[in-house]
């Protein structure tokens, strides 16, 4: 039996903001492919359903939403540093192994980039399930493109430590790396910590260091 594929489906970037028109930010071809899928692996089931409702307003779903299978990605146990067992990722691939295309979707943006899902992609490769990334936007690269900072050499380093002293030490390290390698450093933060992060950036970085928010 032929295996199904793992389709990496981009979500919109309007999570927590005013909702944009789906066709303003996602290609029609991607919306059509999403509408055809009956099996999903999702960072968050509720936001995946919300996405599919937006899709359905443009292209009818191949199968009603209540008959669409949406399984959430496994998360590491709270307080545990143990990775999720490989078997849990493999179990998510069951629809693809049974011949059905399977969608992977995040709450926002591209799956598996600054978001969970890379382990599922790795499991797909190991199981011989073809992986197809669909065209979509990443908040990281839109921010980089719009910044005017160096887009020929850059690094995404995730979150900074929450502890103030550790955060300052990490910022100094990233500033030094950016200068030594001429490499833009991209960091992210949750909205409710933005003000504290901005204050730390202004207090820690050298005046000649360029910053884009």
For a copy of itself, the binding residues (CB under 8 A) are 8, 10, 13, 21, 23-30, 110-115, 117-119, 121-125, 131-133, 135-138, 140-158, 183
CB 66, min distance to a copy of itself, A: 28
Task: Tell whether the torsion through CA atoms of 191, 196, 198 and 200 is positive or negative.
Answer: negative
Q: Please, which residues have CB within 8 angstroms of residue 64's CB and are 6 or more apart in sequence? A: none
The region that residue 177 occupies, defined by phi over 0 for left and psi between -120 and 50 for alpha, beta otherwise, is: alpha
Q: How far is the CB of 104 from a copy of itself (least distance, A)?
A: 9
Write phi, then psi, for 180 (nearest 5 degrees).
-65, -45
| 6: three-class secondary structure by DSSP | strand
Residues in the chain: 213
Task: Please report how close the Cβ of residue 164 comes to a copy of itself at its closest, in angstroms.
Answer: 22
Residue closer to a copy of itself, measured from CB, 61 or 114: 114
- φ, ψ for residue 36 (rounded to 5)? -85, -10
Pairwise CA distance, residues 48 & 11, whole Å: 9
How near is the Cβ of 67 to a copy of itself at its closest, in Å? 26
Cβ closest to a copy of itself, residue 27 vs residue 64: 27
Work out how close the CB of 31 gets to a copy of itself at its nearest, in angstroms, rounded to a whole number: 9
Between 22 and 197, whose beta carbon lies closer to a copy of itself? 22
> Nearer to a copy of itself by C-beta: 20 or 64?
20
Q: Pick the closer one to a copy of itself by CB: 4 or 111.
A: 111
């Amino acid at each position: 039996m032929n295996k199904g594929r793992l389709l990496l489906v981009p979500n919109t970037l309007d999570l927590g903001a005013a909702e944009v028109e789906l066709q303003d930010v996602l290609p029609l071809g991607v919306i059509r492919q999403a509408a055809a899928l009956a099996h999903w692996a999702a960072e968050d089931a509720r936001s995946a359903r919300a996405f599919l409702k937006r899709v359905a307003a443009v292209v009818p779903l191949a199968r009603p939403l209540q008959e669409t299978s949406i399984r959430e990605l496994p998360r590491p146990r709270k307080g545990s540093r143990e990775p999720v067992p490989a078997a849990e990722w493999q179990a998510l691939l069951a629809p693809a192994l049974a011949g059905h295309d399977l969608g992977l979707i995040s709450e926002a943006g591209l799956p598996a980039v600054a978001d969970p899902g890379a382990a599922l992609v790795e499991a797909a490769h190991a199981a011989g399930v073809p992986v197809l990334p669909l065209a979509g936007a990443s908040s990281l690269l839109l921010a980089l493109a719009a910044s005017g900072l160096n887009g020929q050499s850059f690094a995404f380093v995730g979150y900074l430590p929450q502890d103030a002293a550790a955060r300052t030490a990490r910022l100094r390290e990233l500033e030094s790396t950016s200068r030594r390698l001429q490499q833009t450093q991209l960091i992210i933060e949750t909205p409710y910590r933005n003000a504290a992060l901005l204050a730390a950036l202004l207090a820690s970085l050298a005046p000649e260091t360029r910053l884009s928010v």
